[in-house]
Amino acid sequence: MKFKTVCLFALFSLLFLFYPGDSTLFHTFSYHRSLFSDQNRSIAYANNPVPIRNFDINPEITAESAYIVDRKSFSPVYEKNAHKHMFPASTAKMITALVAYDIYKADSTIKLNSVLEDGQVMGLVQGEEISIENLLYGTLVHSGNDAAYALAQPIGLTAFVAKMNEKAQALHMYDTHFENPAGLHNPAQHSSAFDLALAGRTLLNNPYLSKIVSTKEIEISDTQYRIFHKLVNVNKLLGEIPGVGGLKTGYTIESGENLVSLYRTPDGHEFIIVVLNSLDRFEDTKTIVNWINSNVSFVAQ
C-alpha cells in the first residue's frame, strides 16, 4: 500500500511538471528569478556613501520652495514644499535643451523665419542662419528666450512643447506641465523643486549639455560669421563660489527668483540645489552651500 502511494505521488508530480497549461508557481518563480541572481550583485554597492544631515539646523532661506539632493544617490538632505506647483520661468529651458538634443544634430542649422523679442534675449536676427549648438548656448548660458523659441521652429511650437511634456513624463516629473519652450509666464505652466532637480540631474548626466551650462562666457556667430553674439551666463555664482557650477536661472514677476545649481563639496560630493520663488536666489544658494559644508556628512551604507 505504501509503495502504491509513493508511485501515485510520483505520477501526479510528473503530470504537474509536464502539464501544458499555466503553472502559476512555475511562472512566478521564472518571472522573479532575477530577485535571486541580483542578491549578490547588490553587495558591490553596499559601501556607497549616503548623506546624513544635522536635523537640528535648517538652512535659513527666503525661497518658498526648495530641494537639496545628493546627485549620486538622489537622496535628499533638505526639502521645503518640494512638490508644490510653482512657476518655473527659465528653468524650463533645461527640458527645452534636452528635447533639442534628442531630436536635432548639434551641427545642423536653422534659418530663422521669425525672432522672439520678449524678455531676456541673445539678439537673434530674422533671416539669420545659426547652428543648433549655438542656439543651445544661447538658451542655457544667456537664457535667451529667442534662442529657446528658435529651437522649436523646425518642428513647430506645438509639436515641440508636446515633446517637452513627453520628456517630463519620461523623467517622472509628475508635477510639471509646459506651455512654451522659454518658460514665459503662463498660468497653466508649472513645475516643482523636486521635478526640476530631476531635470537638472538628467542634464548633468549629458556630458555635452553639462559642458554648456558650466560655460561662464562665450561669443558665438551665425554660419557666415557676419552676426556675432556675446553670451554671458546669468548665474552670478559661477566663478564666485568655489564648487558651484550651472545649471539654470529663472525669473518672471509671477515666479519670483528661481535657481537650479550644482555644488561640488571640497571632498568631491555633488549636490543639486533648487530654490524657487526666492527673494534672493543667489544669497539663498550661498546659504545652502554653507549649510551643506557645516551640517551634511556621508556614511557608508
Cα–Cα distances (Å) from 81 to 67, 162, 301, in that order, read 8, 27, 28
Neighbours of 97 (CB within 10 A): 27
Is residue 210 flagged as an active site residue? no
Q: Please, where are the H alpha helices in the chain? A: 2-18, 24-31, 33-37, 93-103, 132-140, 145-152, 157-170, 193-204, 207-213, 281-295
Interior CA angle at 186 toward 182 and 192, to 5°? 75
Neighbours of 192 (CB within 10 A): 23
**Choice among 93, 163, 167, 248 that is catalytic:** 93
- Classified as helix, coil or strand, 181 is coil
CA–CA dist 285, 26 (Å, integer): 55
Axis crossing angle, helix 145-152 with helix 132-140, rounded to the nearest 10:
140
Is residue 30 flagged as an active site residue? no
**Choice among 65, 80, 90, 248 that is catalytic:** 90
Is residue 2 flagged as an active site residue? no
Q: Are 258 and 252 in contact (CB under 8 A)?
A: no
Of residues 97, 76, 68, 103, the one with CA closest to residue 203: 97
Beta strand 109-111 with 76-80 is unpaired
**Choice among 131, 143, 192, 261 that is catalytic:** 143
Catalogue the active-site residues.
90, 93, 143
